[in-house]
């Protein structure tokens, strides 16, 4: 197995996802997850404190995943991230993000959330269900 990326949680980071400085909106980020998962997701599993995505190692998937993980780490630095390549799959683990968190996000990641929902509405819904504050810019650009 080849380690592609390892980002350790920042111990002093608040438990919050701050999209204020992100180049994309929350709605765009979830749409990108859905596209990546439709293209390459093989399986997803969760324990109490780790969620692992296994993606087919198709051309461009490693780079796409690494870019997305780096953006996630920038807005959610309270989590740790590991990305490995086992030769057949890209294995992406979010540590500190477990089964109950995954259940909250499932509606958005599986595409049942509508595309016309604003990032603010998505953030409020996710925060109400999961308890983790999600900070989005007042005006989406």
Q: What is the pLDDT along the chain (141 residues), one digit of tens a residue?
A: 999 999 999 999 988 889 999 999 888 888 899 899 999 999 999 888 999 999 999 999 999 999 999 999 999 999 999 999 999 999 999 998 877 777 767 766 665 555 567 778 877 877 777 778 788 886 554
Q: Which segments within the chain are labelled E, that is strand?
A: 2-7, 17-18, 41-46, 50-56, 80-85, 89-95, 134-135
Q: What's the token pair of residue 75?
A: 């807005």
pTM of the full structure: 0.86
Domain boundaries, the chain: 2-8+16-132
Q: Compute φ and ψ for 37, nearest 5 degrees.
A: -70, -40
């Amino acid at each position: 197995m080849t380690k592609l990326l390892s980002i350790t949680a920042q111990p002093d980071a608040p438990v919050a996802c701050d999209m204020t400085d992100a180049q994309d909106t929350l709605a765009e980020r979830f749409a990108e997850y859905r596209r990546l998962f439709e293209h390459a997701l093989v399986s997803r599993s969760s324990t109490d404190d780790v969620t692992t995505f296994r993606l087919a190692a198709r051309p461009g998937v490693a780079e796409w995943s690494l870019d997305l993980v780096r953006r996630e780490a920038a807005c959610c630095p309270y989590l740790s991230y590991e990305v490995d390549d086992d030769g057949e799959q890209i294995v992406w683990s979010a540590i500190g993000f477990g089964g109950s968190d995954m259940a909250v996000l499932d509606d958005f990641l599986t595409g049942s959330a509508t595309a016309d929902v604003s990032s603010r509405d998505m953030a409020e819904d996710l925060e109400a269900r999961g308890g983790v504050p999600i900070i989005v810019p007042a005006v989406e650009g």
